[in-house]
Structure 1
Amino acid sequence: MSQVLLKGGRVIDPAQKLDATLDVLVDNGVIAAIGAAATSQARQAEVVDCGGKLVLPGLIDTHGHVYQYVTGRFGLNADQCGVQSGVTTIVDQGGPSCITIPGFRHYVAEPSATRVLAFISAYLVGGLEGHYYPDLYRPDCLDADATIRSIKANADLVKGIKAHAEIGGFARWGLDVMKIAAQIGRGAQLPLYIHFGQLWPKPQSGGLPVQPDCIFNQVVETLKPGDILAHPFSRHPGGFVEENGQLHPLVHEAVSRGLKIDVGHGSHFSFKTARIVLDAGVVPDTLGADMHGYNTHVPAPAGTPDSHPDEEHSFLGRTQFSLVSAMTSMLALGLPLDHVVAMATCNAAKMVGMEHEIGTLEVGRRADISVLDDRRGRWVLEDNEGTQVITDRMLSPLFCLRDGVRHDAVSPTLPLARAA
């Protein structure tokens, strides 16, 4: 493998507190040098002009759905969401289970050019068809012991557990599922990632009474430090923002207890909710795109449903998005660039317990590098509530190196920028 010299880009590596115009030399798939040493050590290197571009540690998408075909319409192609979108590592959230993790390893993780990890589903059925059938997710469809055994046998691949705390589930089973999921997290000594916001419609009859504003505090009481609260910017009730439009009073306490916050962007992302949360002084730690087959324009496998049963919260067709476009949304909300980069690099690496392997451009590490265009102008960003925000900065992926191998950003799922 020949040398590659990424020349003259703005190198931002929060893990090393780097933000400067520097050269980066890759040699045999490893970061060999940064700065003046990169130029002096280059020997017949392929020179790539990165002037005016951002050169970042390989981006890590903390929330993907890439168990393609096995999860029906729900699962996307890992490389389209990954290296073809400028992302070197993607974490599947809840696609595989203790039953289906062998297939996930063999058919998704091993053949993909993208590094694919998993937060294993707490449910025996995993993410089949995007959790289409609620009754498959009832308490007796979890097996804590079997899931813990599977996690320990697949420690290289499984970095956490995925569960759901939302209105439809609470109306069916109350807190019972969350208690079992928390037991799995403690037994495996891995973070539990909790989906907040609606997923299933309430049962038409026989359901338990649910007060959406009470879900958050019930769930937080079951969690341990390092567990992850997802979807802080969701437009759905039952999460970070109460029905009165105010931040839930337990959010700050949850953070002080050591719980982490991940922006699983998705089609439920709301600029209005984000404004409430950020103005209350709550800043998320990590960022995932949360793309899947119900919120992304991709051909669906034959015979799969046209829409999710929770019609109000499935694909509404206004937006396409990606991890990098989600970074643009974070910038438009006023988060500083260095924090946005940290969310998708070193913070995400800590979330999966791999901060000593990925998430930085430290010399000697494997060469996972993302190169982004960083344009100035005026563009319209729109969420699925129809709220529009004008931004003067647009990030878009150009290419990435995964273990030193170049992959151009050619995914058909990448969104097109809309000029203001």
Structure 2
Amino acid sequence: MDAQPILIRNVRPVGFRPGAAPDAATDILVGADGRIAQVGASLIPPPAARQVDGAGGFVSPGWTDLHAHVWHGGTDISIRPQLAGLQRGVTTIVDAGSAGEATFHGFREYIIEPAQERILAFLNIGSIGLVACNRVSELIDIRSIDIDRTLAVVEANRDLIVGIKCRASHVILGSWGITPVKVAVKVAKILKLPMMIHVGEPPPTYDEILELLRPGDVITHCFNGKAGGSIIEDEDLWDLVVKCADRGIRLDVGHGGASFSFKVAEVAIERGLLPFSISTDLHDHSLNGPVWDMATTMSKLLSVGMPFEAVVTASTTAPMSAVGLATDDLLAVGKKAELTVFDLVDSDLKVRDSQGALGTLTRMFEPRHAVMGSTLVRASRHMPKEGEAKVCTCGAHG
């Protein structure tokens, strides 16, 4: 079937100008070529156009999840991209280290290239990636890293690989300590790419890791509530985190099964420390609780005091900028369409964080449609089936 134009009616653009309040309601016409054709009031639909009634809701740049795991079949923890992607309002998924140099070719051929979503990747510094996740660590000892092959794989796949990932907690590294982080940072420097560092159960400590990072690098699980890894239990660490954020180190939520605390996020935001980006760390152990999807994660940040416009920016243009995607004039005529149509609705949904603490979401992000070029997909939140909800308490799965 030939591609058809898409007319989105009566939506309020938000997130196209970071921090700005939503604009007045408008129509957006996407041509059959997948590019923005017109923006304005009361547009006339061309013949055969598919029409979406936004009903006065919102349209933003496509939601971008900076941390998920979608190397389905190549790791024992990854989910299929469609469970985290367009059907959930997410147009770009950044896989955070599921593949290492030894497995990236399969990830590219079997997952990334067939997907409707844009999928990019941080390449795991460990050669095997998350093949057997925490049952077989990707960073047992120095034999787990092949610098030459890692450099070669990145150079051959620079269209998709946007950085290097290292999981830095003792359940991954054992007695190896900070050394893998130092090696990963060195490789990222050689490649002139950012790092994404998973922080969790020390050692190494959060402080040690921050001291190695550069502007543009990403700390994921920034609001984890783990003993020894929480930014609100140590004023020296708090001061260091604020200083690092001010100089351009990017704090990413990375909710996951074990790495987001309502209390830590609420205290941090109340004290003026907002995350740079909001991400899910969706995987097989977090999909059916406590994460569920991107919209629920965004709603959790809204519930602990993050302003609506800041939540949208942290879920769209901020993570896009972290992986080198253009963020300027995204509604300009001629730009490829990458949009999420959503509502903000009243709610009384009770959800849990990664430590099992209960919170109530009084306002919910509800995705309605995702547009990726000429592809239009009806979107919704992931609704659990009876008996699905679970909370990971082992601390080993992010």
1:259 and 2:255 correspond: no
Tell me, yes or no, if the aligned pair for 1:246 and 1:276 is still in contact at 8 Å: no
2:273 & 2:15 partners in 1: Cα distance? 23
- SS of residue matched to 1:20: coil
1:381 and 2:383 correspond: no
Structure 1 counterpart of 2:214, from 216, 220, 224: 224
Q: TM-score, normalised by structure 1?
A: 0.84
Could you say which residue in structure 2 is the equivalent of 1:5?
7
Could you say which residue in structure 1 is the equivalent of 2:189?
186
C-alpha displacement of 1:9: 1.4
C-alpha displacement of 1:107: 0.2
1:324 and 2:295 correspond: yes
Tell me, yes or no, if the aligned pair for 1:166 and 1:197 is still in contact at 8 Å: yes
C-alpha displacement of 1:271: 0.3
Residue type at the aligned position of 1:12: V
Could you say which residue in structure 2 is the equivalent of 1:295?
286
2:233 & 2:143 partners in 1: Cα distance? 31
Residue type at the aligned position of 2:280: A
Could you say which residue in structure 2 is the equivalent of 1:30?
35
Alignment of 1:31-110 (within 5 A): 31-36=36-41, 39=43, 42=46, 45-72=49-76, 74-110=77-113
Alignment of 1:172-251 (within 5 A): 172-198=175-201, 215-241=205-231, 243=233, 248-251=238-241
Could you say which residue in structure 2 is the equivalent of 1:366?
336
Tell me, yes or no, if the aligned pair for 1:15 and 1:360 is still in contact at 8 Å: no
2:332 & 2:130 partners in 1: Cα distance? 36
Per-residue deviation, residues 49-108 of structure 1 (Å, max 9, x unmatched) = 111322111111111100001102x01001121112111110110011111111111000
Residue type at the aligned position of 1:324: A
Most deviating of 363-372 and 179-188: 363-372
Residue type at the aligned position of 1:252: V
1:253 & 1:75 partners in 2: Cα distance? 34
Residue type at the aligned position of 2:275: P
| Structure-2 change in CA distance of 1:242 and 1:153 (3 Å) | same
| Structure-2 change in CA distance of 1:238 and 1:14 (3 Å) | farther
2:227 & 2:251 partners in 1: Cα distance? 17
Could you say which residue in structure 1 is the equivalent of 2:365?
395
Give every structure 1 segment of 4 or more consecutive aligned residues whose post-TM-superposition deviation is greater than 6 Å.
Answer: none
1:148 and 2:151 correspond: yes
1:160 and 2:163 correspond: yes
Per-residue deviation, residues 156-211 of structure 1 (Å, max 9, x unmatched) = 0101111022233465111111110001110111110000113xxxxxxxxxxx6x
| Structure-2 change in CA distance of 1:274 and 1:168 (3 Å) | same
Tell me, yes or no, if the aligned pair for 1:160 and 1:192 is still in contact at 8 Å: yes
What value does the CA root-mean-square deviation take over the aligned residues? 2.5
Tell me, yes or no, if the aligned pair for 2:140 and 2:174 is still in contact at 8 Å: no
1:405 & 1:385 partners in 2: Cα distance? 38
Tell me, yes or no, if the aligned pair for 1:109 and 1:116 is still in contact at 8 Å: yes
Alignment of 1:279-318 (within 5 A): 279-297=270-288
1:220 & 1:274 partners in 2: Cα distance? 19
- SS of residue matched to 1:186: helix
Residue type at the aligned position of 2:103: T
Tell me, yes or no, if the aligned pair for 1:380 and 1:388 is still in contact at 8 Å: yes
Could you say which residue in structure 1 is the equivalent of 2:317?
346
Unaligned residue ranges in structure 2 (runs of 5+): 390-398
* Percent of aligned pairs sharing the same letter: 31
Per-residue deviation, residues 381-408 of structure 1 (Å, max 9, x unmatched) = 3224332222321112222111121112
2:261 & 2:290 partners in 1: Cα distance? 12
Tell me, yes or no, if the aligned pair for 1:84 and 1:407 is still in contact at 8 Å: yes
Q: TM-score, normalised by structure 2?
A: 0.88
1:140 & 1:251 partners in 2: Cα distance? 32
Could you say which residue in structure 2 is the equivalent of 1:312?
none
Per-residue deviation, residues 345-403 of structure 1 (Å, max 9, x unmatched) = 1111101101258x933332211111123212433232243322223211122221111
Residue type at the aligned position of 2:373: D
- SS of residue matched to 1:369: strand
Structure 2 counterpart of 1:111, from 114, 122, 128: 114
- SS of residue matched to 1:14: coil
- SS of residue matched to 2:99: coil
